[in-house]
Amino acid sequence: MTMLKLDYPRGEIISSKYEIVDRLGDSPLGITYRVKHLKNGKYVRLLLLNPEYAGRDNKEELIAAYKTGKRLQHPHLLKLGELSEHNGVAYITSQDFDGMPLRELLSEHKANGKPFALREAAQITTQILDAVTALHQHGMVFRALRPDNILVNIKRTGPRGMNVIAQVRLTGTAFWDLIPPGVLAEWEFTRGEAQYLAPELKGFDPQPEARSDIYSAGVVFYEMLVGTAPLGTFQLPRTRRPDLPKHIDSVVELALANAPEDRYPSAQDFITDIQRTFQMAPEVSSEAKKGGLNPMFLVLAGGVIAAVAGLFLMPKSDPEQELQNLDSLARNEIIEAYNMQAAQAYDAERRSLQKTWKNMVYIPAGPYLEGRLHTEKLQNAEPLAQKSELDAFLIDAFEFPNLQGAPPKTDITYKEAEAMCAEQGKRLCSADEFEKACKGSRSNIYGYGDYYDPAFCVDKTSADGTHASGALGECKSSWGVYDIAGNYSEWTSTAPESGRRIVKGGGRGEAERTNRCAYSTETSEAIGDAGRSFRCCVSVSDAMAKLNAPPAEPSPVAEDAEGVEQAAN
């Protein structure tokens, strides 16, 4: 019997079209390489699959896994390219991602004697859990959630690079189900990686379930915070790092419970509890109260941006800091209100509505900061932020036709945009709804954060910087609404006067100013523009009434866009 080969040197040609550039790693799934497409020069990842688990005897399972993986168009999962074979060995290609394995980042931090900052660890973990949620919704359990299978790209923006933006992708997606649980456990034990396996996966009869992934994510979170993975009867994070907020110990205890039923019910619940860590503002100390200090002069500790726990006192003589204090207090009030909403049982409603109304994002009822913050100093002609209340609503995740990878519909009048939303049982979003969806739960200045970064929402390969919907994965709000602070400007239904409408979103010029969530302009309803698109909304009260009558299928222009976004191959 001929042995099928997986191990190839640099420069080898695979399937007459890919040249091997680097060997990226081994796993029970096979060997992963970075390869260069010989015709178009693009780089992709290529995984030569282990014939024992993805060979001819497993052809049907492999094809089913590939089809599922192709459907998983999720920002924190690598997009799949093709499924083919080379010399009798099956392989899959996926997008090349400019990031390093989390294992390398952990090693760097350990070598420097410096654990991850809480905000950085939380960003990475919530994105991991977001990806895992998508897998669980498709009936899959990842099971191989360890640092080698988590790719991370770190960007630092803002003054002195203090604003950290992490981007995460999981590798393997749907294909880990091909590996028997016992084989994966043996691999982990052999490599000394068994600490990432949930207890129920370490016995003679492993029984994977969604909460197994929650345990593994908890191990990764703990290791980033403390510097080592939890082993045996481990110490809680604050025993090792007293600077962490108290709530972190509760988060870790729930995630790392021995019995699956004692862990978080879902990955989304884990995410919500991590977010709550930042939403719990500490009490003013008794010393501060005795001194009669105005809480307006409390600011966020450690130099991180708004709403981070750990406040400290600043002198009254710093005008810049006083403005930041005002913004921090206003933001904290909104965050606390959101936290109360999140604690209520709206999750079931959200899931039900988002399942019925495809590619729409649920925005909960409650307050948001309407207008510019004090620290947006160059925008003095705009009204200062004030608290406004909005009912819950759904908003399109992408610009019309609301399909990832589709070119947004542009150069249309307000009435035409209004009619297209009505055809789908929706309506144009109001300026308030647009701004709240852009600012997210933490009242960001831009959809992605507080500091302008042209790399996030500007496609440098296009003449005008615009791009297909969702093509730039980081150009989204914390709610998950894409291109809302970049790409094209958008119609809203808000009318400042008869015959005119407010326009928000991306601007052609002065992007640092016009891409802010608070920015708006107005124009005649009758004027279409090649730089203007739109997206649709639905009030939750209306959506609930229509649960048994989903919106119409996308218009033909949307159907034409299917398959626009694919991984390079």
**Where does 98-149 show beta strands of DSSP type E?**
100-101
The Cα diameter of the chain in Å comes to 84
Domains recognised in the chain with CATH numbers: 13-95 (3.30.200.20), 100-279 (1.10.510.10), 349-559 (3.90.1580.10)
Q: What angle, 0 to 180 degrees and rounded to 10, lies between the N-to-C axes of helices 102-111 and 210-226?
A: 30
Q: Give 101's strand partners.
A: 151
| Residue with token string 């969604």 | 210
Residue 360: per-residue pLDDT: 92
**Contact between residue 224 and residue 125 where contact means Cβ atoms under 8 Å apart:** yes
Q: Give 390's strand partners.
A: 366
Residue 374: per-residue pLDDT: 82
**Contact between residue 363 and residue 433 where contact means Cβ atoms under 8 Å apart:** yes
DSSP 161: G
- Other CB atoms closer than 10 Å to residue 11's CB: what's the count? 8
Residues of the chain with pLDDT under 70: 1-3, 157-162, 192-193, 279-322, 324, 336-349, 377-381, 507-509, 547-569
Which residues, including other chains, have CB under 8 Å from residue 537's CB and lie 6 or more apart?
A: 393, 394, 395, 396, 421, 426, 427, 428, 429, 430, 433
Does residue 214 sit in helix, strand or coil?
Answer: helix
Per residue in 191-231, pLDDT (tens digit) is: 766 888 888 888 777 888 999 999 999 999 999 999 999 98
Which residues, including other chains, have CB under 8 Å from residue 476's CB and lie 6 or more apart?
A: 75, 447, 448, 470, 482, 483, 484
Distant-in-sequence contacts of 32-35, Cβ < 8 A, 24+ apart: 32/171, 33/8, 34/96, 35/93
Q: What is each CA distance from 320 to 67, 316, 323, 325, in whole angstroms?
A: 54, 10, 5, 9
Q: In what order do the strands lie in the sheet with 163-170?
A: 100-101, 150-157, 163-170
Residue 220: per-residue pLDDT: 96
Which residues, including other chains, have CB under 8 Å from residue 86's CB and lie 6 or more apart?
A: 14, 15, 48
Cα separation of 519 and 508, whole Å? 13
Which residue, 237, 284, 272, is CA-closest to 118?
Answer: 237
**Contact between residue 359 and residue 396 where contact means Cβ atoms under 8 Å apart:** yes
**Where does 135-277 show beta strands of DSSP type E?**
150-157, 163-170
Task: Give 276-305 as a DSSP string.
Answer: HHHH-PPPPPHHHHHTT--GGGEEEGGG--
**Contact between residue 432 and residue 388 where contact means Cβ atoms under 8 Å apart:** yes
- Other CB atoms closer than 10 Å to residue 535's CB: what's the count? 33
Residue 340: per-residue pLDDT: 56
Q: What is each CA distance from 459 to 141, 297, 527, 567, in whole angstroms?
A: 34, 40, 26, 17
Q: What angle, 0 to 180 degrees and rounded to 10, lies between the N-to-C axes of helices 247-255 and 267-279?
A: 170
Residue 496: per-residue pLDDT: 92
Which residue, 362, 370, 397, is CA-closest to 475?
Answer: 397
The number of residues making up the chain comes to 569
Residue 139: per-residue pLDDT: 84
Q: Give 363's strand partners.
A: 393
518 CB-side CA count, 13 A? 26
Angle at 372 between CA 366 and CA 281, to 5 degrees: 50
Cα separation of 341 and 364, whole Å? 7
Question: Which helix H or strand E contains 518, and what residues bound it?
Answer: none
Distant-in-sequence contacts of 157-161, Cβ < 8 A, 24+ apart: 157/449, 157/451, 157/453, 158/305, 158/449, 158/450, 158/451, 159/451
DSSP 449: B
Residue 162: per-residue pLDDT: 63
